[in-house]
Structure 1
Amino acid sequence: MLFPTVDFGIFFLIIFSVSWFLRERADSRKLLLLVSSYFFYGYWDWAFCLLLLFNAVVSYGGGLLIDGAGSDRRRKQVLALVVTVDLALLGYFKYAGFFMESLRELFFRIGLERDLPILEIILPVGISFFTFQSISYVVDVYRREIHATRSFSDLALYISFFPQLVAGPIVRAAHFMPQLEATPILTRLMMGKGLFLILIGMFKKMVLANYLATLYVDEIFIAPEQASSFELVMAVYAYAGQIYCDFSGYSDIAIGIAALLGYHFKRNFNQPYRSASLQEFWTRWHISLSQWLRDYLYIPLGGSRGGTVKTYRNLFLTMFLGGLWHGAAMTFVIWGTIHGLALIIERLLKIRRFVEHGLGRIVGVLVTFHIVCLAWIFFRANSLELALAYIEGITLGTTDIYLFTPFVAGLIALCAIGQFVPERSYERCYWTLSKAGTVGMMIIFALGMVAIQQIAPSGTAPFIYFQF
């Protein structure tokens, strides 16, 4: 079930109405949200609900065993088992087909033709996100940052909560589960926040991202050898805008829906293309994933402890594995490698001292943005060969224009302007919207949705991060 559809609109109106009717009955409300979350996920394929349920059972049992273990060794053993099970399932669905195909190709090249099975594995939507939430829960219990919950339904709801189930943001149990115990309150400000974030998220996805994709980006990346250097560069800029609007648009909608249900999620994007360094970029882009990688991968690897060489190794491994998380392909590995090497070079050159103010910051923003765009070429390309052909085409220096139009230029410019409006503009917007009152907010929201529907291209494209 996709957010920008009539089906979801009807689904959410029912859940919104009934959940607030049950606001004084906590157990009934949570059961409603749990069942509706499984219905939402099962709308794609009901079989995957069993995977979601199995994930919750493993995390619940693991948390209780860790909490009740009498020794650190026992706690570590249970933690290792739970994390292994979670990662094994994730690895099977995301990488088994790739490795089987690679093995078949290897056997063919060395003359050992084998009839290996062809694995037709359907990737469950959102498996990476709910797996990461499950791992963070058991790790936090192990670290004694939270106590294991005795309520299976609470944990199952935390893992499956439908607004952020399939594409984030990644929510921590310590932040979300205490909210389940409190009586929800929908203030006028929360309503303004929810409605504004849904509107801006829909505009980003349905208008900006979809137009950039259908009018320009998809055409150029399918056959980069047929485009001029100018159009190739413009298409990278357009893709930078598309993936930001697509992904941050989903996060905005998810956070807005959660707010309308009475729950607070932290912001997941914060104008990342205004960053003056890669380190700053990763504090603004997909913030929940960046923090997850920092807390559950970079720090366990050793973080910045153990000297300079080990710090650089840990940085590189974190970004390398972050790239591999997106998919079993060399393009994603190179994307992660570019970011890892750039972060190391920044530390070696002590870039942060030179990009804090004035001209240095302007140069830092331009350099950082173009490093990110270079990495986006590999992220977007369907194969390593196409990515290399794309870069080769840019170096030719041709300036012919075939697909680039003033409308596309305007879309790119609008994406760029959004990165440099004053910080906390979102907060000012939904505070202003809340002043219109409940009826006024509903009218503004309805008019906004109609306007978006009218100006958006036809069709409903899935969000990019559904594939991860």
Structure 2
Amino acid sequence: MLFPTSTFAIFFLIVLPLSWLLMPNVHRWRPFIIVASYVFYSWWDWRFVFLLAGCTIWNQVLAVRIHNATTEAQKKALLWLALAGDLGVLAYFKYYDFFVDSSQSAAAIAGLDLPLSLKTIILPVGISFYTFMAISYVVDTYRGDFVPTTLEKFAVYLSFFPHLVAGPIVRGSELIPQLDTPRNPRRVDTSRAFYLIATGLFKKVVIANYLASHIVDQVFGAPNQHSSLEILIGVYAYAVQIYADFSGYTDIAIGIALLLGFTFPRNFDSPYAAVSLQDFWRRWHMTLSRWLRDYVYIPLGGNRKGKVVTYRNLMLTMLLGGLWHGAGWTFIVWGGIHGTGLALERWRHDRPGYVEPRDTLQRRVISRVITFNVVCLAWIFFRADSFASAWDIITGLFTGWGQASPLVTGGVLLAIAVGIGSQYLPARFPYALMDRFGRLPVLGQAAVLAVALMLTNTMGPEGVAPFIYFRF
């Protein structure tokens, strides 16, 4: 079930009042929201509801066992059992065909024939997100940072429909305490919720879909048929498309959760205004960045075991981050570009006698331009269907200048400018808008929302394409 559809609108118009009606009695509200979330998830394919339920029971049982274990050896064994189950399921659904294909290719080079066959397994929507949430719950229990809750509350935490299919990746410590007591409808920040939903819809339905249909899909689908200018603008357009698509989704998700009385962590903070790759990963998909830091980078040793090991850990973390995004070598290269860049930035600061240059406007502009273009180079591999396609994009940036570029229109350039320029607005700007919106009378707020939704519907294309991150 997609957010910007009439189906979801009907679903939410039913769930929202019933949720607040049942909220005073949390023992009635929790089963209701679990059922509602499972209905939401089953709309795509009802069979995977059993996978979600199995993941819930598996991780809850083992988290409780870990918490009650009396020795460190028992806790560690139970932790590895939980991780094996979670990662095993994820590996089967997401990586089986990738591993089989890669193994067969490697065996063929060595003159061997492996008796393995591809299965074309359907990837359950959201499996990467709720698996990572389950892992964080179990690991936090093992570390003693979190006491496991009841099965009912854990089921709500894992299946809560606003975050279920594409995040943000919410920690148990961030959501589960909110389930203990009824939410207060008088404390719901409706101004922020409606602002997030309206701007999220605009980013997804208008900007992301417009760029996808007017330049990105054509350029990446047949790069040899386009000029260097079209390819360059197409790469920049994809950078804006994936930002508008994913941040738009999470804005809607956070806004919907707010209307239900719950607060999610922020997931984007103007990533294309970053002055370094390290800064970029503090701003892009922030909940994933923190997850990779806390559950991959730090357990590998972080920066505690010397410079070389630190560079290695940065690279391994980003390679795993790339593999998490997709079962393909192009995603691993995407992660490798970021890992290499992060390691080089760290090496630069680790040099003897290094002094941080003075922060000036010129230095910030240069740093932002370099960072944005490195990120865009990596996006080529993220978006391309194969290495051959990625190479065609890269070579096409240099071999087709002077050719006609009909795809580079004023509308495309405007959408890119809005997508990037909006990230340079003062941090207080959205809060000022929300404050003004909140001061309007109810009829005024309704009128503003109606106009915003009408403009979004008018400016957007027919139909709504699935969110990019649904396939991760």
1:435 corresponds to: 439
TM-score, normalization: structure 1?
Answer: 0.97
Partner of 1:16: 16
Distance 1:413 1:93 in 2: 38
- Structure 2: which 5+ runs fail to align? none
The number of aligned residues is: 467
Please say which of residues 18-27 and 374-383 is displaced more in the overlay. Answer: 18-27
Q: Residue 373 of structure 2 aligns with which residue?
A: 370
Match in the other structure for 1:334: 333
> CA separation in 1, counterparts of 2:277 and 2:382?
16
Say yes or no: does 1:395 pair with 2:394.
no
Quote the RMSD (CA, aligned, Å). 1.6
Cα displacement (A) at 1:118: 3.0
Whether the 8 Å CA contact 1:202–1:253 is kept in 2: the answer is yes
Deviation digits for residues 402-443 of structure 1, max 9, x if unmatched?
311111111111112111001143333222221124443233
Per-residue displacement from partner, 1:197-218 (whole Å, max 9, x unpaired)?
Answer: 0000000000000000001100
Give the one of 379, 384, 388 matched to 2:387.
384
Note closer, same or farther for the CA distance 1:129–1:356 as it changes in structure 2 (3 Å cut): farther
Tell me if the contact between 2:188 and 2:261 (Cα under 8 Å) persists in the aligned partners. no
SS in structure 1 of the partner of residue 83 of structure 2: helix
> 2:188–2:258: 8 Å Cα contact kept in structure 1?
no
Give, as a single letter, the amino acid of the residue that structure 2 aligns with 1:57: I
CA contact (8 A) 1:198 1:256 kept: yes
- Kindly indicate whether the alpha-carbon contact (under 8 Å) linking 1:133 and 1:170 is maintained by their aligned counterparts in 2: yes
Contact 1:60 1:155 (8 Å CA) reproduced: yes
The whole-number CA distance in structure 1 between the counterparts of 2:161 and 2:101 is: 34
- Displacement, 1:355? 7.3
The alignment status of 1:453 with 2:457, answered yes or no, reads yes
> Which residue identity is paired with 1:3?
F
1:313 paired residue number: 312
| Equivalent residue number for residue 466 of structure 1 | 470
Distance 1:113 1:83, change over 3 A: closer
Instruction: Report the AA paired with residue 275 of structure 2.
Output: A
348-357 vs 151-160, which deviates more?
348-357
Percent pairwise identity: 47
Q: For residue 26 of structure 1, what is the aligned residue in structure 2?
A: 26
Deviation at 1:112, TM superposition (A): 5.0
Q: Give 1:178-327 correspondences, 5 Å limit.
A: 178-187=177-186, 190-327=189-326
Give the structure 1 partner of residue 56 of structure 2: 56
Cα distance change, pair 396–258 in 1 and its aligned pair in 2 (3 A): same
Partner of 2:139: 139
Question: Which structure 1 segments of 5+ residues have no match?
Answer: none
Q: Secondary structure at the match of 1:419?
A: helix
Call closer, same or farther: CA 1:352–1:34 in 2, change over 3 Å: farther
Aligned counterpart, 2:171: 172
CA distance in 2, matches of 1:428, 1:167: 29
| 8 Å contact kept, 2:226–2:400 | no
Contact kept in structure 2, 1:355 and 1:364, CA below 8 Å: no
Separation (CA, whole Å) in 1 of partners of 2:57 and 2:188: 37
Structure 1 range deviating more: 248-257 or 325-334: 325-334
1:162 and 2:161 equivalent?
yes
- AA paired with 1:407? G
Q: Give the C-alpha shift of residue 188 in structure 1.
A: 6.7
Structure 2 counterpart of 1:41: 41
1:388 counterpart letter in structure 2: W
Q: Report the CA distance shift for 1:15/1:125 in structure 2 as closer, same or farther (over 3 A).
A: same
Structure 1 position 111, deviation (Å): 5.5
Contact 2:188 2:259 (C-alpha < 8 Å) held by counterparts: no
Deviation at 1:8, TM superposition (A): 0.1
Of 159-168 and 349-358, deviating more is 349-358
Amino acid at match of 2:68: G
Does the 8 Å CA contact 1:208/1:411 hold for their aligned counterparts?
yes
SS at match of 1:309: helix
Letter in 2 for 1:42: S
Deviation by residue 1:252-308 (Cα, 9 ceiling, x = unmatched): 000000000000111100100000000000000000000000000000001110111
SS in 1 for 2:431: helix
Distance 1:32 1:399, change over 3 A: farther
How many Å separate the matches in 2 of 1:301 and 1:105?
30
Q: Which amino acid aligns with 2:48?
A: F
User: Aligned equivalents of 2:187 and 2:178: distance in 1?
Assistant: 18
Give the stretch that moved more between structures: 390-399 or 295-304: 390-399
The CA distance in 2 between the partners of 1:251 and 1:202, in whole Å, is: 10
Q: Which whole-Å CA distance do the structure 2 matches of 1:269 and 1:114 have between them? A: 44
**For 1:361-389, what per-residue CA distance to the aligned partner results, in whole angstroms no more than 9, with x for missing partners?**
11100000000000000000010110011
Distance 1:352 1:375 in 2: 29
Taking structure 2 as the reference length, what is the TM-score of the superposition? Answer: 0.96
